[in-house]
Amino acid sequence: MPTRRELANAIRALAMDAVQAANSGHPGAPMGMADIAEVLWRDVLKHNPANPRWVDRDRFVLSNGHASMLLYALLHLTGYPLALDELRKFRQLGARTAGHPERDLDIGIETTTGPLGQGFANAVGMALAEKMLAAQFNRDDHEIVDHHTYVFLGDGCLMEGLSHEAASLAGTLKLGKLIAVYDNNGISIDGEVKGWFTDDVAKRFAAYGWHVLKDVDGHDASAVASALRKARAHKQQPTIILARTIIGFGAPNKQGTNVVHGEALGTAEVAAARATLGWPYPPFEVPEEIRAAWDARARGAAAEKSWQRRYRRYQKAWPELAAEFERRMAGRLPQNFAALADAALEAAQAVSTAQATRASSGAVLNVIGPGIPELVGGSADLTGSVNTQRKDSRTLTADDASGNYIHYGVREFAMTAVMSGFTLHGGIRPYGGTFLVFSDYARNAVRLASLMHQPVVLVYTHDSIGLGEDGPTHQPVEHLASLRAMPGLSLWRPGDAVETAIAWRAALERGNGPVALVLTRQALPQQARTREQLAAAARGGYTLIDCEGEPEAILIATGSELALAAEALRVLATKGRRIRLVSMPSTDVFEAQEPAWREAVLPRAVTRRVAVEAGARQCWWRYVGLDGEVIGIDRFGASGKGAELFRHFGFTTEHVVAAVEKLFI
């Protein structure tokens, strides 16, 4: 039987061989954490390589994603469908072994990591999801949700501010099944971290309310095993294990230095490491006895079979709960969702007074929310402003995880990354709100949600200079253009209550990516629509008001500027101009329509076009052309009343009318 060190050395060898073959990558962390990983994955982790989607598996997150070869080696050795050839193609185009892990559940990769700290925050979301689902579905005699979330992280993760946000929230909510292992090797790319990172990590996490296990020798398997036992036994708090390791362990001339962090060891050092580790095998060769000791398929199958037996008993005792659990874990909306969405739209149509779309959004949630039990809301300390709390909302606490509303505190970044953790885990559809301008804080988490195609709903209110007196620090200008530029993110900026209801339906029906709902503080009048226009609005861009015959010019508007454009059209009509008004609440949805639809809405023959939006003008030139005009704002705002600011920056009926008339000169 191979020793633990020999088993860990298989990871080290595969890591240095793959990085050497690619001549690119990070061998240091995989070699340093190999002993810890061996204990966790062989002795502790509950998983089944033959079924990476087993719902009650433990979740493992490699937050220090540059250590990707550690994860790939573990997946390969334990029996996931990740062939040796994929390791040989490490970091190459088309390989499943990307430079940093990219979510691929078929081979056991739970989340995309690389931007440091985000994997840790995702893990917090996964652990919170487990706690919530356990509270909702487990019964005294049946525990069908009972698993841990493990996360590896390094000093880089802890230096990123996100780690503070996420760790603080995890401690407050007492996520007792979250176990983090800190790879305390004292080295980053630039060298010894003592020059720029001197935090007392133990005291820091104790202050967050974590259970802290200090000074664990990360190269002593028995010490690691003992720490993991203590962590699992401590259910009242999340646990962090502070493991002392040597980066690049086994590379005799380079270990313990930043040289091994982010580049191949080199042929000579690889050979020296093989000699030091007692690993006489050629590159990418793992002896059969070591492979057999690593193979987790039989143990994993037995663990899942045991759970299946328990689940069948649960099905008999609680059939309705079991059916609901399966629906939610499969990510299917309730059967009556269409009826709920129709009811929300009908209620929106009945609105007769001007209403801020943030209020319209809250009204939609009150209609659909009670019928979608997996719909969990929250806000980054702005609940009353962003209208994300529903009538049926119950606040989630550390002692009662059955709630459906989370007060994230002033943690926009963590909120967004945690929401991705929810959807990555499964069983929960999250939405979270903040001001649009503060999407800046969360942007990288929005980006990763888009990269991973996670169906989170981002509620962004106070969407323009119209929010007024808070001034330019709070007035988003470039944000709409910036978010629209993000691949995979769908953005809606509805112009009234009806479009808000349509946007919410689109957001919840979209299962392959995040949706941003951009909403106003100021009240907007309701626009009249035919039944056909109600259906057309779901296409992202449609004709809201048309003229007799071929239009001479086209107005395009979104959000709060839709009513402004409609008023300008009416003025122009009195002057005999044939004008069409196109509402375009979602440019990306409109772009996804068939060419015939786009041509019908924006006929190429009509070149006189004016777009109106209280944000950066950048994205609108593609719709108006070089001969058209965009009424927007390409500077920061100012402090003053919203109505006054709109006038000051040219968002007036007169200005829009003049811009159209200029095109006829």
Q: What order of strands is seen across the sheet that includes strand 553-557?
A: 542-545, 579-583, 553-557, 609-612, 629-631
Distances, alpha carbon 393 to alpha carbons 362, 372, 377, 407, 523, in Å: 12, 12, 8, 11, 25
Residue 98 neighbours by CB under 8 Å, 6+ apart: 68, 91
C-alpha 92/C-alpha 90 separation (Å) is 6
Helices (H), strands (E): how many in the chain? Answer: 27, 20
> What DSSP designation does 334 have?
P
Distances, alpha carbon 535 to alpha carbons 243, 311, 472, 518, 530, in Å: 58, 43, 37, 21, 9
Given the residues 38, 130, 165, 412, the one annotated as active site? 412
> Using an 8 Å Cβ cutoff, are 111 and 119 in contact?
yes
Consecutive H or E run containing 545:
strand 542-545
What are the E-state strand segments in 75-233?
149-154, 178-184, 187-188, 191-192, 211-217
Judging by DSSP bridges, how do beta strands 149-154 and 59-62 pair with one another? parallel
* Secondary structure class of 524 (helix, strand, coil): strand
C-alpha 18/C-alpha 6 separation (Å) is 18
* Secondary structure class of 139 (helix, strand, coil): strand
Least Cα distance to 329 among 578, 538, 144 occurs for 144
478 given a catalytic annotation: no
C-alpha 218/C-alpha 242 separation (Å) is 9
> Using an 8 Å Cβ cutoff, are 195 and 189 in contact?
no
CA 372 to chain centre: 20
Judging by DSSP bridges, how do beta strands 187-188 and 191-192 pair with one another? antiparallel
C-alpha 29/C-alpha 244 separation (Å) is 12
Distances, alpha carbon 528 to alpha carbons 341, 544, 573, 586, in Å: 19, 8, 17, 19
Judging by DSSP bridges, how do beta strands 553-557 and 579-583 pair with one another? parallel
Structure tokens at 444: 């990288």
- How buried is residue 236: exposed, middle or buried, by Cβ count under 10 Å (0-12/13-18/19+)? exposed
> Using an 8 Å Cβ cutoff, are 374 and 427 in contact?
yes
For the chain, helix, strand, coil in percent to 5 are 45, 15, 40
C-alpha 100/C-alpha 538 separation (Å) is 37
Residue 22, CA atoms < 13 Å, CB-side half-sphere: 26
Task: State in Å, rounded, how far the first CA of the chain is from the last one.
Answer: 88
Active-site annotation, residues? 412
